[in-house]
Structure 1
Amino acid sequence: MTSVRLFLEAGELVGLEAQGHAGFAPRGRDIVCAAVSVLVQTLELGMEDVIREPSLRIQCDPRKALRRVIWKRSDDPRVTALGETIRLALKAVAEAHPKQVCIVEVERDEANS
């Protein structure tokens, strides 16, 4: 199963962590795992190359099949729009494949960032 933690600050997405393999099909052929991966990579590319979000931090650990994308809360409407789009898309994948993707929303404050 792929576990996705969505980090929220005052209800706004400020990061996510995806870990594990969906197990829908063998590795390399798993469309559910690919969907989650593409969404996380789209978030990374949008934040890094399009918006150029200065607070962006990306962590990857292939041994744990883990990717973490974190940024500071922003007044930039592009950051909010991209984050909310990815959040909704990940939830849609999880709703379509509840045995393969689990999403948990975690409210965090700046002290625990």
Structure 2
Amino acid sequence: MIKISVMRQDDDKIIGLSVEGHAGAGAYGQDIVCAAVSALAQSVILGLAQHLHRDVDYDVKPGYLSIALKAAPDELTEAVFAVAILGFAEIEKSNPKNVRLLNIRR
């Protein structure tokens, strides 16, 4: 199962996320659920770091991805995270045995 943890401040603003595990919905390299989650998560990194030029900490390795803002969130960083979270939620709805989306307060 893939566990997606969205890190939120007390004011509900998103400061990071992590993705751990494998969906197990197909053979290695052919798992469309893993591919969808991975593409969305990596798009968050690209959107924040390359498009918005925000300073972020991130780590990507097989079965794991994490990203955290180094500065305070703003409307634009919220938009990047929010779009991905909408996508993650739809994937979870279609694949509840393979994906779990969690909100974590920091």
TM-score, normalised by the number of residues in structure 2: 0.92
Structure 1: 5+ residue stretches without partners = 109-113
Q: Is the 8 A contact 1:13 1:87 kept in 2?
A: no
The corresponding residue for 2:66 is 68
1:59 maps to a residue whose letter is D
1:36-81 Cα distance to aligned partner (Å, 9 max, x none): 0000010000011000112x1001343xx11101114323x22111
The corresponding residue for 1:19 is 20
Aligned runs of 1:13-52 on 2, under 5 Å? 13-52=14-53
How much does 1:21 deviate?
0.7
The corresponding residue for 2:81 is 83
The corresponding residue for 2:5 is 5
Distance (whole Å) between structure 2 residues aligned to residue 104 and residue 25 of structure 1: 23
TM-score, normalised by the number of residues in structure 1: 0.86
Distance (whole Å) between structure 2 residues aligned to residue 7 and residue 50 of structure 1: 21
Distance (whole Å) between structure 2 residues aligned to residue 30 and residue 61 of structure 1: 17
Q: Is the 8 A contact 1:39 1:89 kept in 2?
A: yes
The corresponding residue for 2:95 is 97
How much does 1:13 deviate?
1.6
Structure 2: 5+ residue stretches without partners = none
2:31 maps to a residue whose letter is D
Indicate the SS of the match to 2:22.
coil
Runs of 4+ in 1 over 3 A off after TM superposition: none
Distance 1:26 1:83, change over 3 A: same
Among all aligned residue pairs of Structure 1 and Structure 2, give the percentage whose two residues are the same amino acid: 27
Indicate the SS of the match to 1:82.
helix
The corresponding residue for 1:111 is none
Indicate the SS of the match to 1:45.
helix
How much does 1:97 deviate?
0.4
